[in-house]
Amino acid sequence: MKRSGDTQPLSLPSPSGATAVRGKILAPSAPAKAGDGPTTELSALLAPRKRRSRSGQIRGWLVSLTVLVLLAPPLLGVSLLGAVYWQARTDETRPVDAIVILGTAQYNGRPSPVLRARLDHALRVYEAGIAPLIVVTGGKEQGDAFTEAEASQEYLVTNGVPEDAILLENRGRDSWQSMQGVARLLEQRQLSRILLVSDGFHLFRLKKMAYDLGLTAFATAATRSPIRQGSPNELTYMIREVGGITKYIWDTR
């Protein structure tokens, strides 16, 4: 029921896009522009990147190759040094067919202190019943009356090892020649499991040689050698040994 004096709001058509609020007409909102807000960022991420020119790609490859060439030798050297160190401190003593002692200097039939340390270590292993046979290695230098193997044999016999429990490889002038001779001696007897005895720094290369010759090799270091573990002298020998390993791998590739 309409009262006298009441007025009704007049409804007017809103302009296109305008919004009416309690009788008021608001200005139409501006339409969103394409590319505003998150859509722009997503489009930028999905947009294809410009490809580098062919010359740019070649430069990138050359830089990567140069870095690889520069870093590879020191990385290889550090890896080999780590392997030599680890092997020098790993005692793998276990029952085998034969103990193999690597020869080194002797003086007119008397083992040098380094060779004597290797022989004494092998004696302890032999007396523990690890193997029934010992192989001694090493030829002789110009003017020597005895080979390293002969000096080693004499020392072992003097210390209670039966002569018939010792095999001689007395022609080798270096580690590789000695290991080849050892492999021939053992093959004749159908033996293949050996325990290598030498200074710790020497063992990694010897095991690699034994593996290449088809032998199953384990190793134990002569820890009482004058070349003491952890000494600057041992580190010098280890660094030299890295060169020896590299040369061996290169020569036998």
Q: In this model, does residue 246 exceed pLDDT 80?
A: yes
Tens digit of each residue's pLDDT (9 = 90 or more) over 105-139: 999 999 999 999 999 999 999 999 999 999 999 99
| Contact between 97 and 133 (Cβ < 8 Å) | yes
Confidence of residue 44 (pLDDT cuts 50, 70, 90): low
Average pLDDT, the chain: 85
Domain 92-251: CATH class, spelled out: alpha beta
Determine the pLDDT at residue 154. Answer: 97
**Tens of pLDDT along 163-204?**
999 999 999 999 999 999 999 999 999 999 999 999 999 999
User: Can you tell me the distance from the alpha carbon of 196 to that of 98, in angstroms, rounded to the nearest whole number?
Assistant: 9
